[in-house]
Structure 1
Amino acid sequence: MNISSDEADDWFMESLNTYKDLHVFQLEHPTKVIEWTGDKSICVAGYNGARSEILELLLPLKLYAGENQGLCAERDFKVQHGGFSEEPVESLIHIPGTRCAVTAGGSSSALQIWDIGGDDSDVIKKTGVLNLKSPSAEGIKIAAGSRAEPAVLHGSCISEVQLSEIASGRVLYTVAKGSSEPVSGLQFANAYVFLVCASDGTLLVSDTRDPSACHYPLRDSKSGLHWSFGLRSDSSQAEPSRCAVARLSSSGHVLLSDLRDLQRPFCQTQLNVQRSTAKNDLLNVSWAPVLDGWLSVSGFDGKVRIYNTTGWGAEGQSPQPVFTHRGHEMSHEAEHGAALPVVTAHSWHRSRPRTLLSAATDGSLHVWDWLDKVTDR
């Protein structure tokens, strides 16, 4: 299916009244990662080439010009630092408070450690590796540990999840669970507690001060579905009452759970989505860091959908998105018969309530701030 020129023109005219800001950038190679390195900078990296580019980009200055946008001519992303990886980059994290990043990808049995660079250099260079106990690191997930000494949480299946110190490579913690189920995501709730989501929707909760892990399988698990998850926590010392978990299946089913009772979701609903891709690793569900109870979903097609979950009941049916970003489909210049792009990643801005970034399989990278017609009137 292709978008007609008339439909694209209509969307462009409509966008003048539905976006506060919309900036479009074209990467040489598509990225699956959008990782914040500062309030105004991100890292992206290619995933479909033998030699992949890693870039730190400065967001368009016009985003921050406020009422004086007419005085700011800079509308594009600006490359701050760049480098090359000898393997595709499937995952990338930035270690908070440092200029260090860690990547995983390809079939390497090691994590790559990078110096993003500073004012004296524009080069992103590899500074070391973390060797893994698995002979193959395909599908590995990584998360930054909140510790005095920089550490990374990593694993491709439940039995291989461990926390490693970056400087020494020393293993600080290992999940005591002998499961070969693939990991679809992992994230810290606070400095000690982290969650692991398995591809079958099972959740594990571990505390690095305790060798045991709590195991929460889905009660009504459906075979053949792939699950991803997103965790909302308000601070680095978040209490369980301030944390919520969203799980998203490849069929569009959503489960919302409180960290205090992961066995019984307080809400579940079915989104009205149809998949245009068979790739499960593109599914992404994320909580807004500023808007309480707002959720974003992507990876089914070329759209990013925004939902306000505060009005969802215990058994909601097909809630309508508050906003849908269709820009990757509408700005796509495809050859005749070519498939529409699929969103590969999206991320909320950490302090701007309705600003998001999204990337797609055609290499497009967008930053956009949608208008809430009620509050912005």
Structure 2
Amino acid sequence: MMDESEYDDILDDWFIESLKTYRDLHVYQLEFPTRVIEWTSGKTICVASYNKSTKNEILELSLPRKLFAEEKKGLCAERDFKVLHGGFSSGPVSVLKHVPGTRLIVTNDGLTSDLQVWNLGGGESDVIAKVASVQGGEGTPGGVKMAARLSPQPEVLHGCRGGDVRLTRLSTGQTLYQLASACEERLTRLHLLSDAVFLAACANGDVLTVDTRTSSPPQLAPAPDSDVWWTDASGSGLVRVSASGQAALSDPRNPAGVVSRARVAAGTPCRHPDDVTVSWAPALDDAISLSGFSSTVQIYDTSSWGSEPRDANPLFEHRGHGVCSPPSSAEAEGGAVALTGHVWHPKESRTLVSAATDASLHVWDWIDQSDGR
């Protein structure tokens, strides 16, 4: 067991190291940990707690203004997170999606397939209030995955299994599309490719490509290997990472064809499979991030991956959650602090927000020292 002096030495060493590896690093302590981090604008995020026994806070936070200062090393009076709006959910919040272009968020408790719709407030109100509910599939277990859009009305794509995905208009609760598939695999990601096409990624690594304009069954792209997989898709490609650390890239237009592979140094998946996050960087070419296997967020450059899997080392590793958490916090969690999620900033190329089981929330802008990229 680590004593306080050992912990202080590790913290001091990491602090000195961080001066050279981060352009900015800000730490915030929530009252309860969050599994959800969602951008509501370029400078604000929404988080929520997931306790099953108490009311759960939903908060909209503004990020420190210093993070977005034109001159990073200049003086800036505001260096902390601020609570802008808040509300309470009677159940846990395990999934949360913001509807782009609106002040609406959609949540799920992880226990049922029902959805809750919230207004984030604004103007004279600082209260986040529930404005509607959407019933999920009858008899469907929890663990909903979602994707949201404004098209031109707010809509949400949601489901727990490959065979129960539906598209719902939030203003009326009307089902606009329901997937007819016999797939009963648990979903790990839903991704809207266009107005009519979406991807449904399953825990076994299979990916369904669905065209809502046709009654034809979805196209199935089988898993690269037999394992548990987590998936993300973007214009850059489709990435799948397995519980054993295998990674595979595909073209989203042809998910069945694996373009390149690698073995990532992820470690062992955490206690909760929904805490594993793999994500494409929206503003940095060929970069993906991975968390939920340990107390770190790892960033990889996929441009060097080849047709045969080789060991890939992280381009950068954010170790702050594990280092900054005192031994008492780790003991309270029954072991090492683990990541519960992370997100990239939609426009800032190397800025991310991450959260952990000790209720810590970090926003960081990292420096790539490998090639000045």
The TM-score, its normalising length taken from structure 2, stands at 0.93
Give the whole-Å Cα distance in 1 for the aligned partners of 2:153 and 2:212: 14
Say yes or no: does 1:39 pair with 2:32. no
- SS, match of residue 261 in structure 2: strand
Deviation at 1:372, TM superposition (A): 2.3
Aligned match of 1:227: 229
Instruction: Pick which of 275-284 and 322-331 moved more.
Output: 275-284
**What is the correspondence of 1:62-77 to structure 2 with a 5 Å cutoff?**
62-67=66-71, 69-77=73-81
Aligned match of 1:349: 345
Q: Which of 321, 325, 330 pairs up with 2:314? A: 321
**What is the correspondence of 1:1-377 to structure 2 with a 5 Å cutoff?**
4-49=7-52, 50-67=54-71, 69-212=73-216, 213-218=218-223, 221-222=225-226, 225-233=227-235, 243-275=236-268, 277-335=270-328, 338=331, 339-373=335-369
Q: Which amino acid aligns with 1:195?
A: L
Give the whole-Å Cα distance in 2 for the aligned partners of 1:35 and 1:361: 17
Deviation at 1:45, TM superposition (A): 0.6
CA contact (8 A) 2:353 2:361 kept: yes
Give the whole-Å Cα distance in 2 for the aligned partners of 1:336 and 1:97: 38
Deviations 1:305-324, CA, capped at 9 Å, x for gaps: 01111111111311111110
- SS, match of residue 221 in structure 1: coil
Give the whole-Å Cα distance in 2 for the aligned partners of 1:231 and 1:37: 20
Deviation at 1:146, TM superposition (A): 4.8
Aligned length: 365
Alpha-carbon distance change, 284 to 56 in structure 1, aligned in 2, over 3 angstroms: same
Q: Which amino acid aligns with 1:322?
A: L
What is the percentage of aligned positions where both structures have the same residue? Answer: 44
Deviations 1:269-303, CA, capped at 9 Å, x for gaps: 11122226332111111111111111111110110
Deviation at 1:246, TM superposition (A): 0.4
Give the whole-Å Cα distance in 1 for the aligned partners of 2:229 and 2:313: 21
Give the whole-Å Cα distance in 1 for the aligned partners of 2:51 and 2:311: 34
Deviation at 1:216, TM superposition (A): 1.4
Q: Which amino acid aligns with 1:21?
A: D
Give the whole-Å Cα distance in 1 for the aligned partners of 2:92 and 2:100: 23
Give the whole-Å Cα distance in 2 for the aligned partners of 1:301 and 1:337: 13
Deviation at 1:207, TM superposition (A): 1.7
- SS, match of residue 316 in structure 1: coil
Deviation at 1:347, TM superposition (A): 0.6
Give the whole-Å Cα distance in 2 for the aligned partners of 1:232 and 1:200: 20
CA contact (8 A) 1:134 1:160 kept: no
Give the whole-Å Cα distance in 2 for the aligned partners of 1:197 and 1:146: 22
Give the whole-Å Cα distance in 2 for the aligned partners of 1:376 and 1:16: 17
Give the whole-Å Cα distance in 2 for the aligned partners of 1:67 and 1:214: 49
Give the whole-Å Cα distance in 2 for the aligned partners of 1:309 and 1:229: 15
Deviation at 1:336, TM superposition (A): 8.3
Deviation at 1:125, TM superposition (A): 0.2
Give the whole-Å Cα distance in 1 for the aligned partners of 2:370 and 2:219: 43
